[in-house]
Copies of this chain bind each other. A is one copy, B any other.
Amino acid sequence: MIQSYNSRLLDNAVAHLAKLPGIGQKTALRLALHLLRQEEDVAVGLGEAIAEMRRGIRYCSKCHNISEEDICPICASSRRDPDTVCVVESVKDVLTIEATREFNGLYHVLGGVISPLDGVSPSDLEIDSLVNRVTDDDVKEVILALNPTIEGDTTNFYIFRKLADSGVKISILARGISIGNELEYTDELTLGRSILNRVPFSNTFSTK
């Protein structure tokens, strides 16, 4: 139920805030009233920061990470190793792995994982562009760093088969990460170590 608060401006701000994930009507009202109590430049600054961020940020045409330019700073950096590409589900996984400071290669953001129940098929993801990139850029190793869930494993296997003929080395994060958890909430030490201890993908399922 949308309540009215006797002010069109407040109603409007609360309605917008309540659309954010995890924020209901009461929390939205609390945040709006908090912002009203602050100096004007705090609230206006927040509003402008959000609008500017959305207007200014696009996606890197190479790795599909967020970027303010056509090519993101990681792909453009000469200090990163272009031979190694780490495949992740989402932008926030890039940030999580960057925070470990254990990885110096490039990324490839899939934009999700294969999930028939949610209607996500391989063609909805950046898998073809990954295959092209591996071939065109002469990538030596692909590290699969998807969340350790059923959908993540399915996507790992799909990518593994797609890249099997290319001769690229395919690794997967060491299974120090507990199954069913989100990558984002793994502590940085465990996650960093699982990047260092990555194992060839073919070892993770029984091959004859």
Which residues from chain A sit less than 8 Å from chain B, CB to CB? Answer: 3, 5-10, 12-13, 15-17, 19-22, 26-27, 29-36, 38, 40, 42-57, 65-68, 72-74, 90-92, 95, 98-99, 184
Q: Which of B13, B56, B57, B66 contacts A50 (CB 8 A)?
A: B13
Cβ-defined contact, B21 with A53, below 8 A: no
Which 6 pairs of residues, A with B, have the shortest CB-CB distance? A47-B51, A43-B54, A47-B50, A13-B53, A47-B47, A16-B46
Cβ-defined contact, B36 with A53, below 8 A: yes
A86 CB, nearest partner CB in chain B, Å: 15
A34-B12 Cα distance, complex, nearest whole Å: 19
Cβ-defined contact, A33 with B74, below 8 A: no
Q: Which of B22, B45, B52, B73 contacts A6 (CB 8 A)?
A: B73
Q: Which of B6, B30, B40 contacts A72 (CB 8 A)?
A: B6
B-side contacts of A55, CB under 8 Å: 40, 44
Cβ-defined contact, A68 with B20, below 8 A: no
Cβ-defined contact, A36 with B98, below 8 A: no
A80 CB, nearest partner CB in chain B, Å: 12
Cβ-defined contact, A52 with B22, below 8 A: no
B-side contacts of A48, CB under 8 Å: 47, 51
Cβ-defined contact, B44 with A51, below 8 A: yes
Q: Can you list 23 A-B pairs with a CB-CB distance of less than 8 A?
A: A3-B99, A6-B72, A6-B95, A7-B57, A7-B67, A9-B49, A9-B57, A10-B57, A12-B49, A16-B45, A19-B42, A21-B34, A32-B50, A32-B53, A33-B91, A36-B53, A43-B50, A43-B51, A43-B54, A44-B51, A46-B47, A48-B51, A50-B50
With A34-B20, A48-B47 already in contact, the answer to whether A9 and B53 are too (CB < 8 A) is yes
User: Which residue on B lies nearest to A15, using beta carbons?
Assistant: B49
